[in-house]
Structure 1
């Protein structure tokens, strides 16, 4: 096979392009989001540069028509500001934005600036926005209405919670149904749904205990208007689980297949 030689002009062009790609200065934002308290006075945006060259580099930081904070009432900013890095710079150049402290109770606000139009440098087209949150300091914390005093009214313990050191029953997740004044308890260790009457909270009474073992393992329970829903894990945790519906007395209504290891049903 005869050797092939690249033309000298093409060879030097390729070498030059590779060298340029490796050494072109790149200017970066500090992070995608920054947060400042309204009373802080200002916020700093430190911009950094890599591969700084023999000539100065610069980038424009342009305020975007986005956000809920307004230039003037909430912060001070010209539409466009330019940040310049001297030749051979290795440190950050910091842009300081004054934050104005008003006396208006309001939600947190934000504004967005974008790095654009670099000179003798590059800027990532997908990581050039900085979103600045301003936390309000004018909304007072609610005053305490009075002292809170709690006292034990009643408790309920499932039958035989332990046998020696072996746990037999548990009360993991509880859901109260105001329409029936009943408490539905996910007894995951015992594999049951325990139903308790809270008609008289000072005298909690057991209503029923539904065996969940034939469906799988109970992870969670929710109750509303006499309809009870239980999140059931398959005996094979990697297989699909189900949501099983009961009436207020624990009578089976329907079973619906869901993803693996369902939990926190609401």
Structure 2
């Protein structure tokens, strides 16, 4: 088509204007630079909300420890996992206030399809129903919409509070079980039964008479699907343990290798930790990293009430010594889906950062949902179990991947120009901001990094970098121990989960909180 010169100039001007606009977050002039929301308003409701307590503080505002955040696709609401409290908080991003907070309840391991392998001393694989309830205690959370309805996905890892000053975990064998509730207590407390299972001390005695009226284990060992009012619509039950038992029996419930087979059965099993979601060939797929057993589960959640197993990818060499650097990808921590429209090769890609092996792995995602190893980069020198590859984030314009390196405290910068050969092209030294990075997020070329203070109970910072690792704008102070952070879809706000863990003797216990950073103001402060 022959377009007149004036029209071509006008079109070019409009195109340039739109391109420039896309690189600048929407204006939010009425918002302060930082709004930090604590949980003090829920302290008086902790019992009524049935939130896990029993800590020295006895206050939700101290116990909440926000872990992960997802923002609904419409950008109006965020959902925050409070892992140790076994709850999710809902944040109204328009009003910038909490809209609610709800306990996730307990999973019944006596129900059909909800079994678990509860012992590392039972001779191997032994998935069955037990009189145990599981606190879901999710780490990562993701959101997606189908048919105008938003759903949440939680990776139900579980976590304990274990410090020199306070511990909430105990083995079943070390509890006095209520005789009426557990008439077969002697059998249950054998090592090959429940005796070795790690459960919550603080959740055990419901009537205050000194014995355990219920057994509450840490984590659901599953993926759950929830509505936005935190009504559970599905749970994968014992699927992860059953599938790993079927597909990699020699390293079932392990630390990833044959030498550690069954060692995790008494303690959170495969530990689903990271979850992300992607649209593939008209299907909505969930990708779940199993932190201990290793590998990634792929589930079709297009029908939210009926998640369906698609595939399991595991690149571990199970007979290798995990400390040798030859065992492959151990300890998946962060998972990231790069849609075909943004990927460097025009195909759907899944990125997995493995904290134990310090490797970052790329998979091609087929239309079927199956994963094929595409590329891999190993941190050198090899750093076993140092968190040398934790959380990844991707910038499509520069084709660069940013990976938190807990071993150095910095941020590794990888080029994905050829995703089959990811290459380290730089690293950001973050020592001027604090002790080290915990998480990273990218939006429109802005790289945001959560950095904890050298004293973890002190307020931390968010560093704003360019894609080459140089400073983009001055850092912003947030709450104690900032962890996961994410941008809203329009890039106007950056949400930061300030975990606020206590120190080891529990003498200092900072409040957990979520900080909302006005991105435009943060960038203009340079």
TM-score, structure 2 length as denominator? 0.23
TM-score, structure 1 length as denominator? 0.44
Compare the two structures and name the one with the higher strand fraction. 1
